[in-house]
Every structure is written in structure tokens, then in C-alpha cells.
């Protein structure tokens, strides 16, 4: 017996990071869409032009979408939902593009071409944006379409040395039966946050009835150390001078300087460099004002962000075995590795374009995990029309 290869449509595709994760799990792309010319160029350079339609999702109609896909993936813009943004919510000009996307799904449903499963990804701020109203609106739309859904908070740090928590909403049609391996109905404590739980507990009864908590088994693999992802001497970033490094240290409080001394001791003992990432942030000066401080975290990078996301790029801080402290920006390739992109992925030639591509993307191992541990089990649990009728009769 032969099994048909599962397929997907990818919206807000960026450089195709969701595609990498889904294809790694055996899915085949049938359609991709993004508005950004630079990201579309990177997508074409890595995957060709056959599946990509460049342009505003609001200009698409169901006639532009080929056939039917088993899964639709949508990582829509987060700027109006993140803490770094203005928190305009789902009515904002960027995050509000979810609704034109959703109209496409409704059109596909009306034509009998709706996907069996949908994955919607965004920042955790979606869970609490406007006191939960924005997440409730999305979940209400899913429930009104007849789909069940589960909302999970997953941090890329489970797979990569980057702190990157994100919200994933997985929804499925009535002909899909989640298998026992997803532990349906059990508390999903590994996959939630206080804010997400609070919003889900406040859902109206009509929407809450469609909520089915899924709890996949946590990944067994341990994320690699940050130092293992670094280039020895990248050509696209320059090393800071000793005076500049001293200036960074002077901006730190005692706790962060102690962390650096501990990293130096560790490097001297093991004979291997210890890597950390540094951000500059505005903090209270203890006298009623604000002052710029440097803060460092070793062995794991902070969430990759771009200037458009309201944050500066991270500075890499390396404690060398010889006692020296070195500093530079993350290279474009290192940023890509922190997203799980393979080294043969073709990055944009300009540093800023390459960094933005990574910072705006989704960690590919997380996509692969969702595909392997949730989507494939869901699709394998699809029920026939006869099974659904029997189930309704029994109820």
C-alpha cells in the first residue's frame, strides 16, 4: 500500500524556514506567499520560483491557490503584538493582515478545499494582547469554522541555544481525530504560560468547546551550546577593540561582571571558549532616572530581533582560554544557525538583509517538531465520513 505525501501551503513565508521544517518531516510545498521583495528573493534562491507568489495576501483569491493542501502554515507579522511594538493588536496595520489570510481559508472551506490542519504562529504577546481579546478573536474564528484547536507555547531553546518563545495554534477539521500519543485532555503544563492559560480559561463557552489541549512528548535531544554554532573569524563583522570591550564592562552591574569572571574561569579550566550574548538596555539608575546598561547571558543567545522589531542586534562576548575577553556582533551565518538554517542555505549578500531574514523568521527545528509530533499524528488520525457518522450516532 502506498501513502500519499502530505502537502502544505505556506503564508507569510519569509525565507522559507517553515518550509525547511515541514519538508524535513516529509511534507511537500504546493504554494507559498510573502510580500517582502528581499525575503522573496532569498526564498527563490533557495527553493526556486515554482511555488512562490510574491504580493499582498489581501490581493489573493482562492483561485490563486492550487488544489487542496493537508496543512496551511501561517506565521503572520508580530509587530502589533510584541512588547517592542505599539501593541495595536489585531487591528494594527501589520498583524491585522491575519484577517485577509483567514478570508482565504473561509473561501477554501466553502469550495470544499479547506486544509485538514492549520498552524498559526506568532509571539507570545498574542496570548495577552489587549487582555486576551486578540487571541480570543482568532480562536473564535477557528471554532466558527467547525475546527477544534490547541494553543501551545514552545521555546526554541529546547532545540537551539536561543531564547525564542512563540505561540503556536494548531487547528484541525472534524474529520481529524487526535491520536492517544498526543495525550488529549491532559494538562499541557510543558506547553503553556500563565498568560496563555489565563486567556484560554476566559474563553466564551462556544469557543471553549472547541479547545482540545494537546501535549506532545517533550524533545529528548539537548540543544547545542552557543559556542558550537560560532564561526572562528567571520568576514562580515569586525572585532571590537580592547577599549570598546572595557567600555562594555563599565556599563555592567556587579552581577553581570561576576558572570564574566566565572566564564573566564570556566574557559581557563576547560581550555575551550565560553560564549555569551550581550544587549544594551535602559535600566533604572537607582536615583529616579534611567541609564543604559549592558547585560550578558552565557551559553544561550537572547531572542534574535531586528531594528524594526524595536531592539538592537546582540553583541557576542567570548571568554577565551587565555583569559582574554573578545566581543563582536553575531555574524549573518551565526544568526542563521541560531534559527536552525543549514550552512548551505543561501543568505542575502548584505549583512542587514541576512540578519533581518533570520530575526523575522521561525526556528526550523520547532517546525519540524510540530510536524513530526503533532501534524503527522493528526493527519494519520483522519476519519472517513462513515466513521464520523458512527461517532455522531454514538454521541
Which one, of 28, 128, 18, lies nearest residue 70 by Cα?
A: 28
Q: In the predicted model, what is the mean pLDDT of residues 280-297? A: 88
Grid cell for residue 348: 542575502
List, for residues 58-80, the tens digit of each pLDDT value. 999 999 999 999 999 999 876 54
Q: Is 336 exposed, middle or buried (0-12, 13-18, 19+ CB in 10 A)?
A: buried
Can you tell me which residue has the cell 575551550?
Answer: 272
Q: Which of 213-222, 309-318, 369-378 has the highest mean pLDDT?
A: 369-378
Strands (E) in 148-194, as ranges, are 148-155, 165-172
Question: Where is pLDDT greater, at 189 or 15?
Answer: 15
Tell me what pLDDT residue 185 has.
66
Alpha-carbon gap, residue 256 to 244, rounded angstroms? 17
Which residues have CB under 8 Å from 109's CB, separation 6+? Answer: 145
Which residues have CB under 8 Å from 367's CB, separation 6+? Answer: 17, 18, 20, 21, 22, 73
Which one, of 171, 59, 182, 195, lies nearest residue 119 by Cα?
A: 171
Q: At residue 389, does pLDDT exceed 50?
A: no
Q: Which of 24-33, 189-198, 308-317, 365-374 has the lowest mean pLDDT?
A: 308-317
Tell me what pLDDT residue 91 has.
62
Residues of the chain with CATH 3.40.50.150: 7-222+362-394
Q: At residue 386, does pLDDT exceed 50?
A: no
Which residues have CB under 8 Å from 269's CB, separation 6+? Answer: none
Q: Mean of the per-residue pLDDT values for the chain?
A: 89
Tell me what pLDDT residue 305 has.
78
User: 7-222+362-394, what's its fold?
Assistant: Rossmann fold (3.40.50)
- Residue 381 pLDDT level (bands cut at 50, 70, 90): confident
Grid cell for residue 53: 507568489
List, for residues 80-97, the tens digit of each pLDDT value. 445 444 455 546 555 578
List, for residues 177-217, the tens digit of each pLDDT value. 888 878 776 556 789 999 999 999 999 999 999 999 998 98
Strand arrangement, sheet containing 52-54: 52-54, 28-34, 7-11, 71-74, 117-123, 165-172, 148-155
Amino acid at each position: 500500500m502506498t501513502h500519499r505525501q502530505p502537502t502544505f501551503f505556506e503564508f507569510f513565508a519569509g525565507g522559507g524556514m517553515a518550509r525547511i521544517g515541514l519538508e524535513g518531516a516529509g511534507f511537500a510545498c504546493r504554494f507559498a506567499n510573502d510580500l517582502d521583495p528581499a525575503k522573496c528573493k532569498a526564498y527563490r534562491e533557495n527553493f526556486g520560483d515554482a511555488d512562490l507568489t510574491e504580493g499582498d495576501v489581501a490581493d489573493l483569491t482562492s483561485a490563486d491557490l492550487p488544489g487542496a493542501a493537508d496543512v496551511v502554515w501561517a506565521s503572520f507579522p508580530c509587530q502589533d503584538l510584541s512588547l517592542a511594538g505599539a501593541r495595536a493588536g489585531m487591528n494594527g496595520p501589520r498583524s491585522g493582515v491575519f484577517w485577509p489570510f483567514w478570508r482565504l481559508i473561509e473561501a477554501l472551506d466553502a469550495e470544499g478545499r479547506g486544509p485538514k490542519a492549520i498552524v498559526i504562529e506568532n509571539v507570545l504577546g498574542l496570548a495577552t494582547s489587549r487582555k486576551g481579546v486578540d487571541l480570543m478573536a482568532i480562536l473564535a474564528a477557528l471554532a466558527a469554522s467547525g475546527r477544534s484547536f490547541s494553543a501551545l507555547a514552545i521555546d526554541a531553546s529546547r532545540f537551539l541555544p536561543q531564547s525564542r518563545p512563540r505561540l503556536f495554534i494548531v487547528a484541525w477539521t472534524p474529520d481529524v481525530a487526535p491520536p492517544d500519543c498526543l495525550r488529549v485532555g491532559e494538562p499541557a503544563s510543558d506547553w503553556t504560560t500563565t498568560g496563555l492559560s489565563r486567556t484560554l480559561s476566559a474563553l466564551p463557552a462556544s469557543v471553549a468547546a472547541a479547545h482540545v489541549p494537546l501535549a506532545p512528548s517533550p524533545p529528548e535531544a539537548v540543544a547545542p551550546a552557543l559556542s558550537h554554532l560560532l564561526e572562528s573569524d567571520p568576514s562580515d563583522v569586525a572585532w571590537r577593540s580592547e577599549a570598546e570591550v572595557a567600555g562594555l564592562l563599565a556599563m555592567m552591574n556587579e552581577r553581570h561582571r561576576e558572570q564574566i569572571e566565572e566564564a573566564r574561569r570556566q574557559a581557563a579550566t576547560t581550555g575551550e571558549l565560553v560564549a555569551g550574548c550581550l544587549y544594551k538596555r535602559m535600566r533604572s539608575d537607582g536615583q529616579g532616572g534611567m541609564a543604559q546598561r549592558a547585560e550578558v547571558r552565557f551559553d544561550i543567545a537572547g531572542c534574535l530581533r531586528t531594528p524594526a522589531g524595536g531592539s538592537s542586534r546582540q553583541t557576542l562576548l567570548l571568554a577565551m582560554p587565555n583569559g582574554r575577553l573578545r566581543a563582536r556582533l553575531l555574524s549573518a551565518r551565526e544568526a542563521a544557525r541560531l534559527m536552525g538554517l543549514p550552512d548551505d542555505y543561501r543568505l542575502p549578500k548584505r549583512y542587514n538583509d541576512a540578519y533581518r531574514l533570520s530575526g523575522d523568521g521561525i526556528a526550523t527545528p520547532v517546525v519540524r517538531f510540530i510536524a513530526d509530533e503533532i501534524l503527522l499524528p493528526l493527519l494519520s488520525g483522519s476519519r472517513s465520513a462513515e466513521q464520523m457518522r458512527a461517532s455522531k450516532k454514538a454521541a
